[in-house]
Structure 1
Amino acid sequence: MSRLFGTDGVRGLANRELTAALALGLAQASAVVLTKGHHAEARRAEGRRPVAVVARDPRISGEFITAAVSAGLASSGVDVLDAGVIPTPAAAFLVDDIGADFGVMISASHNPAPDNGIKFFAFGGTKLPDEVEDRIEAAMSEPQLMPVGGDVGRIRRFADAEDRYVLHLLGALPNRLDGIHVVLDCAHGAASAVSPEVFTDAGATITLIGADPDGMNINDGVGSTHLDNLAAAVLEHGADIGIAHDGDSDRCLAVDASGAVVDGDQIMAILAVAQKEHGRLAHDTLVATVMSNLGLIRAMADHGITVRQTRVGDRYVLEDMNEHGFTLGGEQSGHIVFSDYATTGDGILTGLSLVARMAETGKTLAELAQVMTVFPQILINVKGVDRERLAGDEGVAEAVAAFERELGDSGRVLLRPSGTEPVVRVMVEAADQETADRVAHALADVVRERLAL
């Protein structure tokens, strides 16, 4: 039986794979596992019930899934604070802010509208480690003694959820954004109300696109996975910068005044240099993943900043940051984590910080992005191969070694097996596009031949 939890909670086609019954069962199991901490026991000792924050993005299916999750929690003796439609990082912040025992976010992030997902945050607003997710999954098949009478939970609206988050974001800003014209693309998602409010309160002039969610248009041709409309809007309105969120606003990508994309690696480079200048970059270290561009590592070295690289996934970036006390990390995809202010990637905070750096320095985004040179990067997904044989295949290892010798210090090679599919991902970076393309396709051919099913 395959694991229910994926890399970012439980996801699937709403009402087909992610059903109301599954949501109810997950909620009841989470109530068992996530209320065993001393904080929950202290509440019980005082005659109070455990508390969970529940939130969602605007997908139409989020309404019935929220109802099922809330019912599962309340039937298990947990009081529910329903925060409504807010970003994922807002839900995580609120769990920590009010001292809730845990939180539940109902979202499928950048996936299309028919999909949905359920992810959990532990006490403090942190993502769950694999072993805790496994305990929740196991608890779903175990009989539970359900509370009755006055021991069942209550469901209440979290009336000031958005206001708390807005004040938190404004408090994290180092300076105001006056004089900067920003086009905001909210992906018709969870940031559609709060992001324009915060940017306006911080002094920016804003133009909005992708901020009219109807339950079915989330991520549809807009947001951080579809940047063409944002680039066009920046050019049309003569804006200084475009900021794109995804459906649940845990990531941020940008375009400069010419419409050129500024990705997560470039954003991290800009913000790492800013934090170091202000003495806020802990241990002069940035945490990225193995997929981050070689240009990032080179640029940071030039500024006396060490780059640590983790497995792909913001949860692994977070784990490394938390373990070693680092303050900035993220992914090329735009998941950026500021551990002084957030327990997960926060797309609005990232966008605010980027615009604040423009306002502070008086530089354009294009000028700031010159801090790093992006190496051409080619990624090929080789399908229909045995990913389990990748690590031990001598032919593949020899090919990798040969290409690494050829590229020298001017490039790199990375092979990664998919965690769920018969796929090996071949990534090559080189000093020029032609070399990167040639090496990537040649190596993909070797993988295809050696590991064919």
Structure 2
Amino acid sequence: MNPKWKGIKMGRYFGTDGFRGEANKNLTVEHAYKVGRFIGWYYHQMTGKKCKVVIGKDTRRSSYMFEYSLVAGLTASGADAYLLHVTTTPSVSYVTRTEDFDCGIMISASHNPFYDNGIKLINGNGEKMDEKTISYIEDYIDGKLNLFGEEMTDVPFAVREEIGCTVDYAAGRNRYVGYLISLATYSYKNMRVGLDCANGSSWMIAKSVFDALGAKTYVINAEPDGTNINNHAGSTHIEVLQKFVKDNNLDVGFAYDGDADRCIAVDEKGNVVDGDLILYIYGKYMKERGKLLNNTVVTTIMSNFGLYKAFDEAGINYEKTAVGDKYVYENMVQNGHRIGGEQSGHIIFSKYATTGDGILTSMKMMEVILAKKLPLSKLAEPVTIYPQVLKNVRVKSKPEAQNDPDVQEAVAKVAEMLGDTGRILVRESGTEPVIRVMVEAETESLCEKYVDQVIDVIKSKGHTA
């Protein structure tokens, strides 16, 4: 039942991946303005210097609106705002940590539809913002801030020469592109590569990188119009790239999400190579070269059982964290691990980046293909992905349903029946009154049977809403 993850709480506005919601409904320009106002003032208080913030955005129509609101708040509090314009989340992280910014802000709702948006905050080390600072921001948004021994409902405006300015900083984005190109160890000449840019942040950057490295690059979904981001495109609609790779006889394909911190690959046969398979392929490649520190790959509890079986056979250890690349990264930092990620394609290479980076991930897959002179399908072959069934049950009380002795007994019975041929995972949703029951087993019918067994007990005990 994974009790150690029960204590993970979401903030009032900020979740594990920023402040996200429908633009001008539950995420408004006033929210963005207040975030800017607080950050500009707070960092000045903490450092005694004018605050410097770098901002990137994806291609959503509302991203411009939120950019201007953040800039107004920041400059009104005396901070200088450096604009990368349309760029990827990992590029904001890179520029923040390498160019002495107090923090970075990415305006994006990642893989969500265009009408949603989000504000992701990045600290000076290029990592996700700490919970303490986020909780101060949330207090300020709610008008009940208690900081530095003082109760306040607002923060002072900067005046005269203390008012901040805005700086066009496209050069920072270009330096990030140069950094990516510098990491390649092989030429991509004669490689036919497909890229699905999701009509999002990677629409210019990804092609630039692959072209510079000599690939014959075929790009789809790179014509953003403000409303087509992730629309039947990118890593959440991988079937589009699968067809494109097969129709054009390409060697490999890579699909990104809206802000390009995820990557899902497609092999030369049109098969999907998701985050689990990417972790296996690169983890094994690192081990073969003596580069896999601690002989460990970090995963989340949602990684497929087949991945763990393949790791066992390859003699590779693994850790499991709560769902969210934030928790993967925390584990990597605490334990000195070099690679980790999620099934969804958030892959972190801690030697090169502090966040998931879709373009970097695709480059790492190219490196293994070229180094081993093998197609992607062959590299992924040792992993047998187990069928998975996940069902959600709406309940009156998540803790009561989780802690019911009869429910726990039903889960234990399924785990015993599965033995080392599968697994069961029962966890609470972080955002809904829902218990998620997931089983992986050798056949889909077994998955269905065992999931339903547990759900029947939850229902019979009167926990369903």
- TM-score of the superposed pair, with normalisation by structure 1: 0.95
User: Deviation at 1:172?
Assistant: 2.2
Counterpart of 1:331 (choices 342, 349, 359) is 342
- Could you tell me which residue of structure 1 aligns to residue 97 of structure 2? 96
State the distance in 2 between where 1:33 and 1:338 align.
31
Q: CA 1:388 to 1:161, structure 2 compared with 1: closer, same or farther past 3 Å?
A: same
- Could you tell me which residue of structure 1 aligns to residue 111 of structure 2? 110
- Could you tell me which residue of structure 1 aligns to residue 239 of structure 2? 228
User: Deviation at 1:174?
Assistant: 3.1
State the distance in 1 between where 2:383 and 2:113 align.
33
User: Which amino acid letter does the alignment assign opposite residue 259 of structure 1?
Assistant: G
State whether structure 2 residue 51 is matched by structure 1 residue 50.
yes
State the distance in 2 between where 1:332 and 1:296 align.
10
Q: CA 1:449 to 1:56, structure 2 compared with 1: closer, same or farther past 3 Å?
A: farther
Contact 2:410 2:453 in 1 (8 A): no
User: Which amino acid letter does the alignment assign opposite residue 192 of structure 2?
Assistant: H
Contact 2:34 2:140 in 1 (8 A): no
State the distance in 1 between where 2:123 and 2:446 align.
46
- Could you tell me which residue of structure 1 aligns to residue 254 of structure 2? 243
Counterpart of 1:369 (choices 380, 386, 392) is 380
State whether structure 2 residue 204 is matched by structure 1 residue 193.
yes
Residue 236 of structure 2: SS of its match in structure 1? coil
User: Deviation at 1:9?
Assistant: 0.8
- Could you tell me which residue of structure 1 aligns to residue 293 of structure 2? 282
User: Deviation at 1:418?
Assistant: 0.6
- TM-score of the superposed pair, with normalisation by structure 2: 0.93
Contact 1:92 1:344 in 2 (8 A): yes
Q: CA 1:282 to 1:452, structure 2 compared with 1: closer, same or farther past 3 Å?
A: same
State whether structure 2 residue 31 is matched by structure 1 residue 22.
yes
- Could you tell me which residue of structure 1 aligns to residue 411 of structure 2? 400
Residue by residue over 1:136-158, the C-alpha shift from the partner in whole angstroms, topping out at 9 and shown as x without a partner, is 21133232122211111110110
User: Deviation at 1:360?
Assistant: 1.3
Structural mapping, 1:192-211, within 5 Å:
192-211=203-222
User: Deviation at 1:317?
Assistant: 0.4
State the distance in 2 between where 1:325 and 1:71 align.
40
Contact 1:113 1:216 in 2 (8 A): yes
User: Which amino acid letter does the alignment assign opposite residue 256 of structure 2?
Assistant: H
Counterpart of 1:307 (choices 318, 321, 329) is 318
Residue 409 of structure 1: SS of its match in structure 2? coil
Structural mapping, 1:31-50, within 5 Å:
31-35=40-44, 40-41=47-48, 44=49, 49-50=50-51
Range with greater deviation from structure 2 (83-92 or 386-395): 386-395
User: Deviation at 1:57?
Assistant: 0.1
- Could you tell me which residue of structure 2 aligns to residue 452 of structure 1? 464
Residue by residue over 1:302-330, the C-alpha shift from the partner in whole angstroms, topping out at 9 and shown as x without a partner, is 22221000000000001111111111000
State the distance in 1 between where 2:44 and 2:283 align.
37
Counterpart of 2:165 (choices 129, 132, 154) is 154
Residue by residue over 1:219-249, the C-alpha shift from the partner in whole angstroms, topping out at 9 and shown as x without a partner, is 0000001011111110110001111000000
Residue 84 of structure 1: SS of its match in structure 2? strand
Range with greater deviation from structure 2 (306-315 or 388-397): 388-397
- Could you tell me which residue of structure 2 aligns to residue 257 of structure 1? 268
| Structure 1: runs of 5+ lacking an equivalent | none
State the distance in 2 between where 1:153 and 1:350 align.
37
State the distance in 2 between where 1:113 and 1:374 align.
32
- Could you tell me which residue of structure 2 aligns to residue 73 of structure 1? 74
| Structure 2: runs of 5+ lacking an equivalent | 1-9, 144-152
State the distance in 1 between where 2:43 and 2:308 align.
38
State whether structure 2 residue 17 is matched by structure 1 residue 8.
yes
Residue 160 of structure 1: SS of its match in structure 2? helix
State the distance in 2 between where 1:138 and 1:427 align.
36
Residue by residue over 1:26-66, the C-alpha shift from the partner in whole angstroms, topping out at 9 and shown as x without a partner, is 111223444555xx44xx2xxxx221001100101001110
User: Which amino acid letter does the alignment assign opposite residue 16 of structure 2?
Assistant: T
State whether structure 2 residue 445 is matched by structure 1 residue 434.
yes
State the distance in 1 between where 2:39 and 2:154 align.
13
User: Deviation at 1:442?
Assistant: 2.3
Q: CA 1:238 to 1:429, structure 2 compared with 1: closer, same or farther past 3 Å?
A: same
How many pairs does the alignment contain?
Answer: 445
Q: CA 1:436 to 1:191, structure 2 compared with 1: closer, same or farther past 3 Å?
A: same
Contact 2:251 2:268 in 1 (8 A): yes
Contact 1:219 1:247 in 2 (8 A): yes
Contact 1:252 1:351 in 2 (8 A): yes
User: Which amino acid letter does the alignment assign opposite residue 246 of structure 2?
Assistant: L
Contact 1:187 1:222 in 2 (8 A): yes
Contact 2:113 2:229 in 1 (8 A): yes
Contact 1:179 1:359 in 2 (8 A): no
